[in-house]
Homo-oligomer: A and B are copies of this chain.
Amino acid sequence: MRILLTNDDGVYAAGLRALHKELAKLGEVTVIAPALEQSGVGHAITLLDPLIVSSIDDVDGSQLGQAVEGSPADCVKLAIYELMDRPPDLIVSGINHGANAGINVLYSGTVAAAIEGAFFEITSIAVSLEYSEHFDFPYAARHARRVIETILSNNPPAGSLFNVNIPSHNRGEPKGIKVVPMGVGRHGEGFERRRDPRGRTYYWMTYAPPFRLEGEESDVIALADGNITVTPLQFDMTRQTQLDQVRGWTWPGPETS
C-alpha cells in the first residue's frame, strides 16, 4: 500500500514524524507537507503564486520528504499531479497539534488536506491530538494506526473521508473509540481589544472551546469525555433537506425591463 502523508504543521513537525513511523508498518509512506506551519488556513489553495518544492533530509541523512511552500491542500494536489509516480492508495493528514472537532473541521488545514484527497476519490483520513502542555505524539500515532487499520480492514468505498481525534494522554489511555457526528455548536471565543505603541486599536482572538449543545452527541463531547472519535465526513455541502422547499418558493422570472 502506498500512503501519502501530509499535515498543516509543516514537514518537520513531531506529529508527522511520529505518524510516519507507525504508518511505515502499513505500507510505503511518501511525505509531502508544507514548508511552514499553516494552522488555521482552512481549505486554502494557492491560485496565483508559484509553488516551490524542496527535498528535506533528516538529521541522519535519510530523505524525510518534500516540503511545499504552500497550503496542505496544495501539497495533496501537487503530490497527485506532479510529485508521485501514481496516485497513492491512502492519504493521511496529521497528527495535528490540537483537536479538530466540531466546527473547527471547517477551519482546519489538516482536514482540508484529507478533503482534497477525497476530491480525487482516494480514501483520506485526518488525525488530530487534543491540546495539552505536552503532546505525546508516539502515543497518539499508535492509536491512530489502530484506527486506520480498522478503517482499511472494512474496505470503505474509494474517496471515503474520516476525521479522527485522539484525546490527550494526560488523562490516561483513551476510554474507547466512538463513531460520532461532527458537533455544530460554535465556540465561546471572542477578541481582546488592545492599543499598539502608536495608539492604534487592534484585536486579538481569544480561545474558548466549542459550546457543548444540550443533548448533542458529537465529536466535541465524546473527545472531551476521553474517547478517540471517528467521524465520517462528506464534502458535498448541499443542504439536501432544504432543497425541495427552496425550489418551491416563487422565484422571479427573467427580467423583462
B residues in contact with A103, CB < 8 Å: 119, 235
A238-B232 contact given A51-B204, A191-B82, A194-B50, CB 8 Å threshold = yes
Task: Contact check, B43 vs A47: say whether CB atoms are below 8 A apart.
Answer: no
Q: Is residue A12 contacting chain B, with contact meaning CB distance below 8 A?
A: no
Produce 1/0 per residue, A200-218, CB < 8 A to B. 1111110000000000000
User: From residue 184 to 235 of chain A, which have CB atoms closer than 8 A to chain B?
Assistant: 184, 186, 189-191, 193-194, 196, 200-205, 230-235
Which of the segments A18-26, A56-64, A104-112, A130-138 contacts the partner chain?
A104-112
Asked if A52 lies at the interface with its beta carbon under 8 angstroms from chain B, I say yes
Convert A245-257 into 0s and 1s, putting 1 for each residue whose CB lies closer than 8 angstroms to a CB of B.
Answer: 0110111111100
1/0 per residue, CB under 8 A from B, across A127-153: the answer is 000000000000000110011001100
Q: List 27 A-B contacts (CB under 8 A).
A: A40-B48, A42-B44, A43-B107, A45-B107, A50-B203, A51-B203, A53-B202, A73-B107, A78-B191, A78-B203, A81-B189, A82-B203, A103-B119, A120-B186, A151-B249, A156-B242, A156-B246, A160-B242, A174-B254, A176-B253, A176-B254, A179-B249, A181-B240, A232-B243, A234-B237, A234-B238, A234-B242
